[in-house]
Structure 1
Amino acid sequence: MNINLLFWILILLASIWAAHWGSDKLAEPLNKLRQQWGLTEAAGAAFVALATASPEIGTNTASAIQGLSDIGLGNLLGSNIVSVPAIVTVAYFAAQKNSQNKSDNFSQPLKIKLEALTVQTIPYLLIIGLAALLTIPKPWRGLQPIDGWLMLVAYFIYLAQAIIRNQQKGTKVNWKTEEIIVAIAGILALIIGAYFTVTATEKIVSILGIAKLVGGLFITSTLSIVPEVFATWSVAKSGQFTAATTSVIADNTATMTLAFFPLALVNLPVENIKLYSVNLFFVALLGIFYSLFIYFGKPKYSFSFKEVLVLNSIYVIYLLVMIFDILR
């Protein structure tokens, strides 16, 4: 095996482990911070997203600076597609572990609060619509600086409404110095581990000679959500089901805006409009089904096992479309 390839594979494994360790240290601090500030679980998820979305933001910034924006664009789109079925699935099975009825496996719905729809999902769908409006029509096709600034403004509007809406009176919590240090170390480990997970993947793609856009869509994006998967498992097992499940929407919102920004600043053209449109369509489709399952699912405001399977089936359809149509 190529020595360089082996080296970056080892870096990749070490980075994933670091991200896993860091995410385990965030579940309790997240709950305490939410209680202290009087934030709902859905609003609290927006803060975790600043950490979990850091690999996409960092990768896209590096891609723009190095003139490798195709990797960043693939990473942005791919991570917003694979993350929805992955995170909901992980949160669902973590909820089964947390269930009081241990003998009734896979039948307990993943119950979440309505705020997951109103605070997180609806704003996310509006942001996807804005991205499509700014980048697909022929007169202004592609990512341009003005698009980046508009998406940045959209993110801060989203963050503000997540914090302000349904805010309650905070409760006093006790913070220990050791607990704070461990939490900070966890965040740093999560960010550093996530960044090097993506960096190592980029090196592996280069060594294997895979197209940059394809590498961004399927390798970089998939591995960049690994820290979020670990964090979701930890948060859901602690009983914070709404925070765990909405973290994917908060993360995707940050990716679609903050990770969009550096690519737009360097005037990234959309050369393959069919590939771009199909990927953005599946980003929106998964977000729409996520919303529908929350509001119309049975029982209401939850995900059942069948609905989890549907989200995963949509991702399988996406892969088939990409393999047998777009990439061919």
Structure 2
Amino acid sequence: MIALVSLLMFLFPPADTPVAVIEKLHPDLDAVVDAHTAINVIADGFEWVEGPLWVEQEKMLLFSDVMKNRIYKWTAEKGTSVYLEPSGYTAAVPRGKELGSNGLALDPQGQLVICQHGDRRIAVMSASLSDPRPAFITAAGRYTNKKFNSPNDLAIKSNGDIYFTDPPYGLEKGPEDPVRELAFHGVYRIARDGTVSLLTDSLTRPNGIAFFPGEKQLLIANSDPQKPHWYIYDLTGKGALANGRIFFDGAAIFGKEHRTPDGIKISNKGIVFAPGPGGVWIFNKDGLPLGRIKTTLITSNCAFSGDQRTLFITADHCVLRVALK
């Protein structure tokens, strides 16, 4: 009976139970977020939300519902509405699992770039941000003439180069899916001329990806329960990865709270916000944990507002908003 009550409390918490709280682990967190700040749900009722992106010129937040094959839009004035459908799978044959879009980003030309799980490609929406349509141009769909697994997250350099991860989560049968063509889960770069380069094939489940300020270092989350780590790489002058090492070892926390590293965003001050076990972890540029936005919801990714004073978090079936300093 006690176990049943506990389960019901987890699934249906009392109305006054905070959806998330700030957990302070180091005094330097005080310069990042107020430990007593309110954390609000601004959108709810989705199946699995991912890939948030703040579009400053439209004052809107875009985010993917991966299971529903939609991108939603949220604004402070009008709330939530469907922005783009289909967003990640455009074939006529019905399919399930994580078929929609995932990571979203803007290129230097202001075009929406989309990680499309179902279509297994990086695509650019060939329509304006203010008048979206499901019309896409493939930026990259193959490596050595083999289809990607399911591009998951991306980061775009100021010169237009697209860096992205390619785990198996968008395949209907996961890594054992017979349609899978590549034998590894890679991290890639799409150069401005369209050339696709494999940067590393050594990560077991590459997921979130983000540049540190200055674009000389790259952080990648590995969402593998056996290696739940965040890895940091130096970038060479030609855009390749070098000197890969562990930025933060998540094995100890994974043993207590079973959720692996996922999306990543890094502020212009070098502060890392990294969804993972128990919520969103906050690290300094050296990998020291400053604190955590702690929640029982499964957090997938996050995004900053234009002035970086607000953090939006995609968490399971809803979107959270947290004020930053």
TM-score normalised by the chain length of structure 2: 0.24
Higher strand share: 2
Q: RCO greater where, 1 or 2, for CA within 8 Å and sep 6 or more?
A: 1
TM-score normalised by the chain length of structure 1: 0.24
Higher helix share: 1
